[in-house]
Chain A
Amino acid sequence: MTRHATDVLNIGKLSVRLPDGADRPFAVHDMDLTIEKGEILCIVGESGSGKSMTANAVMGLLPKSLRFSAEHIRLNDCNLLRQSRSTLRDLRGREVAMIFQEPLSALNPLMRIGDQIAEVMKVHPGSDFTDIRARVLQLLAFVGLPEPETIRSSYPFRLSGGQRQRVMIAMALALEPDLLIADEPTTALDVTTQAQILDLMKRIRDEKGMGIMMITHDIGVVAELADRVIVMRHGETLEEGAVADVLEAPKHAYTRQLIDAVPMMIPKDARPFDTPPLLSVKNLNKIYGKPGGKHRAVHAVNDVSFDLRAGETLSVVGESGSGKSTVAKLLVKLEEPNSGQYLLDGEDVTHLSVRAFRPKRRVIQMIFQDPYSSLNPQHTVARSITAGPLAAGVSRVQAMEDARRLISRVGLDESALTRFPHEFSGGQRQRIGIARALAMSPRVLVADESVSALDVSVQAKVLDLLADLQREYDLGLIFITHDLRVACQISDNLVVMHRGRIVERGSAHDVLLQPRAPYTQALVAALPGQAWEARREAAILAEQRS
């Protein structure tokens, strides 16, 4: 690989070997990479692609059990492979800095924000900043935190997730390094916060002229932010190039597949639903904590009303803390509302006791968020799927027969029934979760962030499966999500929640393409990669017309 004078980072043939017995020999194989000054390089890939390993190799953060080799890892003019540990330690923070996915756990909860940032400067003696306090304030202002003076003397718990990520970035910038490595820095954040952090990263590139290595799984983020992009899968570099080239004319089939898996913001055509509602909630309220009590009461769900009809998909969209998951819990009676009315299948179930509601549970089933904890690790798949029907009085023979039928219906082999959850991937587990819900022959399904933990290609397949099953069984589907693209792909109708209230409702088409509420407008505007999106949609429409 040719080397330019402006290269900040130049890696030649980096390989990270996995321990014997892993599913493949290399986590990263023969990777070449350069980042220039003032350039953002996005490394995009799904889980297990080796993208984070690459970042960790540069920072020397690989676990000791992994062996890695490279021709060179050159930071500016210094080959990191030939440096002593103390030199490397000094380089970290001074010339290369890193920010992580979880801003909540990356800050020391017992130290004031200002002290944590100052520490970076103190552990690197000889830095040029004589007035550390002034420098801290300057950094806090640069990353766009309000009232730097107040933030400086606050503890981390007072800050929101987005603010903490800004603090992390301020720490990373403290010594003006030449290279910033960001490992999924916005994945844990809400979309509006993500948009602000992405803007900040662009500002860092433009104003500080730093090179940025951004690890992400989100094609939207790539489109929004990257100058160049590297696509990785199973540790191999599949494609590299300028972002416009890669996204608009991908050379590798896998890149194409990744891009196609991103749901497009083209809503389904509105369909009329004129059957009586299957499920109806009126003025539902849920308050956590006693009003006037010792702790602040949280009005998690505030006067929420909506109807759902057979065959309809209603998405409940909102950011974290909007109350959307509480709505899901109220619907399946994992929580009881403080007031309001809940009609299920024409019957008022608002005040039914746990026991009295049990027979009604067959009508409404739930698909959970976390494919790793939603199945009992000690039970075989068959046992998990048949448990509900058996509890409802179905015979064992019948329940097993249904389980066999359903497991093939959700796209798994019948042999899956005798295996345990840990033998399956996240996507497969989510299919098992769907089969378990369907085993009850429900009429309403509540899916609480059911695809948000999955890779985008897996996510697309699970969404397709859900849509098929809905048509097949004429299910009413309540789809709880923070992801507008996913909501757009699957919903007929949409409600947008903000701080416990529904701020907008309507057909997917109206809400997403002509949002009226200011909050919805902000949500839609915050979606990363919209310019690329628009070009992509235009291209597809043009193709359809011809």
Chain B
Amino acid sequence: MKTLLKNTPLVIGLGLLALIVVIAVFAHVFYPVSPWQSSAIPLLEPFADDTLPLGSDMLGRDVAAGIAYGARVSLTVGVVSTIISITLGVAIGALAGFYGGMLDNLLMRFTELFQTVPQFAMAVVFVAIFSPSLTTIVLAISLVSWPPVARLVRGEVMSLKTREFVKAGIVLGESEGALIFRHILPNAVSPIVVMASLMVATAILTESALSFLGLGDRNMISWGYMIGASRTMLRDAWWLSVFPGLAIVVTVVAVNLIGEGFEKALNPQAHGERKA
């Protein structure tokens, strides 16, 4: 526990993320009025009015409220799509790495199919084909982000498979499921956790980019949408894009810090804290 507190990136990252989570969860308490509702004169500058600290947009909507409600979308997309793509990636990677041979070949060629198309372009196409909604966005992001997980897990499984304790499991007559779930995957958790935390950040960025292009969920305000909607006013009303932009930066930095912190905690050798 003490060593965890000394882990500066993890502490700062978790602190920032906790703040964002609180804002997202209690958005309706802080801002009972819908973020789509006009609540002031249009284009109110930030810090001019105490009730609207971040100003208002061209329709008089509260920017701060937008950011608070937008956090919900960003966090949901980040967490859910990461869970889906990790599950998919671990399953495919574990099967390919454990069984090898034909199955490995098939699954890896399938993975390459996804890797050869640029990720973002594929996400755009997917969302555009199905109508843009939170579900399709989450699915699209999951669909384009699992291949690196599958590759990582496959490599880990292939190397763990040759370790003697796995051989011992075989000799003791343990089933293949037991070998994979009790012996191999638990020992591959640390790189997967590190990768997952970094994927959350990428997913948030991808969602913002999709919303910026107008492919966001029309019913929910999101940071990317706010930037996209105000891009024409960038010179006249800088605050409309800068504050959502800052929100994205802070969230992504927080998540990246957590990822870095995990890596430091799970893999101390790589950071010069070697036990002599």
Chain A residues within CB distance 8 Å of chain B: 18-19, 22, 63, 65-66, 332, 334, 358-359, 361-362, 365-366, 368-370, 373-379, 384, 387-388, 391-392, 433, 436, 440
Contacts and interface: CB of A to CB of B under 8 A. Distances in A.
A334 B179 CA distance: 14
Contacts of A377: 165, 187
B171 A391 contact: no
Contact of B165 (A65, A365, A373, A391): A373
A113 B165 CA distance: 38
Contacts of B186: 378
Q: Which 5 A-B pairs have the closest CB atoms?
A: A388-B172, A374-B164, A361-B173, A376-B165, A368-B164
Given A373-B163, A388-B173, A392-B173, A378 B187 contact: yes
Contacts of A388: 172-174
Given A366-B168, A373-B163, A391 B276 contact: no
A436 B168 contact: yes
23 contacts: A19-B276, A63-B276, A332-B171, A361-B171, A361-B172, A366-B168, A368-B164, A368-B167, A370-B164, A373-B164, A373-B165, A374-B165, A374-B167, A375-B165, A377-B165, A387-B169, A387-B178, A388-B174, A391-B173, A391-B175, A392-B173, A436-B172, A440-B172
B276 A65 contact: yes
A511 B37 CA distance: 95
Interface in B13-59: none
Contacts of B169: 376, 387
B103 interface: no
Contact of B187 (A334, A376, A392, A436): A376
Given A358-B175, A374-B164, A387-B169, 12 more contacts: A65-B276, A361-B172, A362-B173, A365-B172, A366-B171, A368-B164, A370-B164, A376-B169, A376-B182, A388-B172, A388-B174, A433-B168
A19 B174 CA distance: 42
B170 interface: yes
A66 B168 contact: no
Is the contact region of chain B dominated by helix, strand, or loop, or is it mixed?
helix
Contacts of B172: 361, 365, 387-388, 391, 436, 440
B187 to A, nearest CB: 6
A358 B173 contact: yes
Interface of B: 163-165, 167-175, 178, 182-183, 186-187, 276
Contacts of B167: 334, 366, 368, 374
B275 to A, nearest CB: 8
Nearest to B169: A387
Contact of A391 (B163, B164, B174, B187): B174
Nearest to A372: B164
A104 B178 CA distance: 36
B186 to A, nearest CB: 5
A63 B274 CA distance: 11
Contacts of B168: 366, 368, 374-375, 433, 436
Contacts of B178: 387, 391
A392 B171 CA distance: 12
A66 B171 contact: no
A73 B136 CA distance: 72
B268 to A, nearest CB: 14
A66 B276 contact: yes
Nearest to A385: B172
A242 to B, nearest CB: 36
A392 B170 CA distance: 12
Contact of A365 (B171, B174, B182, B276): B171
A391 B168 CA distance: 13
B274 to A, nearest CB: 8
Contacts of A433: 168
A377 B165 CA distance: 9
A316 B164 CA distance: 20
B102 to A, nearest CB: 16
A377 to B, nearest CB: 7
A63 B174 CA distance: 43
A189 B186 CA distance: 36
A183 to B, nearest CB: 19
Nearest to B172: A388
Contacts of B164: 368-370, 373-374
Contacts of A370: 164
Nearest to B187: A378
A433 B167 CA distance: 12
Contacts of B182: 376, 379, 387
Nearest to B184: A376
A362 B172 CA distance: 7
Contacts of B276: 18-19, 22, 63, 65-66
Contacts of B174: 387-388, 391
A159 to B, nearest CB: 26
A392 B173 CA distance: 7
A332 B170 CA distance: 9
B261 to A, nearest CB: 21
Contacts of B187: 376-378
Contacts of B165: 373-377, 384
B168 to A, nearest CB: 6
Contacts of A359: 173
Nearest to B163: A373
Contacts of A365: 171-172
Nearest to B175: A391
Nearest to A63: B276
A366 to B, nearest CB: 5
Contacts of A332: 171
Nearest to B162: A373
Contacts of A368: 164, 167-168
Contacts of A378: 186-187
A126 B60 CA distance: 83
Contacts of A334: 167, 170-171
Nearest to B173: A361
A352 to B, nearest CB: 13
A410 to B, nearest CB: 16
A432 to B, nearest CB: 11
A377 B182 CA distance: 11
B181 to A, nearest CB: 12
